[in-house]
Amino acid sequence: MRPTCVVTGASSGIGAETAVGVARAGHDVALVGRDLPRLEAVADRCRGTGAAATTYIADFASLDEVRELAAALLRDQPRIDVLVNNAGAALTERRLTTDGYEATFAVNHLAPYLLTRLLLDRLTASAPARVVVVASDAHKFGDVDPGDWMMETGWKPMKAYGRSKLCNMLFTTELARRVEGTGVAVNCLHPGFVATSLGRENRIALVGLRLIGPFISSPAKGARTSVLLATTAAGDDNGGRYFVGGRPRAAKPYATDPVNALRLWEDSAKLVGLEP
């Protein structure tokens, strides 16, 4: 039986290339995105490798849609062997989601936190299983302020994005601790500086991308570490490791701080309506 991999943000960019790479490696895929025509095009590429591919529409700016997505995945997928939390957003202005949460934090952290929690029993039952979190070196631009997760003061685009990526790493740290001994392996990664649709709303960023275009990696190259952790022995071991360029790299202490990781986990549980 082929293993099943769920890939979020799979309609374009790194997520699309991750899905195709995982399919080529022998996995069936469940693809999550917001754009059905693009998602179906990616699914067709995956089917061309011999994989079964199912598509799911969900907007991670809505926690209700994340809950509906989890219910659909649990209904349709008897096994979930790999979850790749890839979906993300980079915004140029502070916005609130339908749940009343700061959008960058909600989409990049709360949504994958909730999805992972809701799928964790199925992942554990499918063990050996893996959770792969697409973080970023941009976490270095973020900080941790448990008293102001929503950045009601001092909001700036890169600071908000950096904090959300720092949260990805802290989430990885705490999740790895909690699943120890269950057969689920949790790791995160920096995909490199990749030209994707992530910052399509940021006009300044788009100008900058044109100027430095020759130095930017392709989405296919950016997906390599995700595929590596999802499908090869590199992703076998649990431990919340941080991978860059396909190899583990020592993370800064503040990105794996156990006190902040636990506080983020507990606060996130309250925000999404789960027990810690």
C-alpha–C-alpha distance, residues 56 and 71, integer Å? 11
How far apart, in whole angstroms, are the C-alpha atoms of residue 22 and residue 19?
5
Active site residue 161: yes
Determine the Cα–Cα distance for residues 171 and 66; give it in Å rounded to an integer.
Answer: 17
**Catalytic option among 56, 161, 242, 254:** 161
Distance CA 189, CA 53 (A): 24
DSSP string, the chain: ---EEEESSTTSHHHHHHHHHHHHTT-EEEEEES-HHHHHHHHHHHHTTT--EEEEE--TT-HHHHHHHHHHHHHH-S---EEEE------SS--B-TTSSBHHHIIIIIHHHHHHHHHHHHHHHT-SEEEEEE--GGGGG----GGGTT--SS--HHHHHHHHHHHHHHHHHHHHHHTTTTTEEEEEEE--SB--STTTT-HHHHHHHHHSGGGPBPHHHHTHHHHHHHHSGGG-S-S-EEEETTEEEPPPGGGS-HHHHHHHHHHHHHHHT---
Give ∠ CA 48-217-130 in degrees, rounded to 5.
60
Give the residue numbers annotated as catalytic, written as ranges: 161
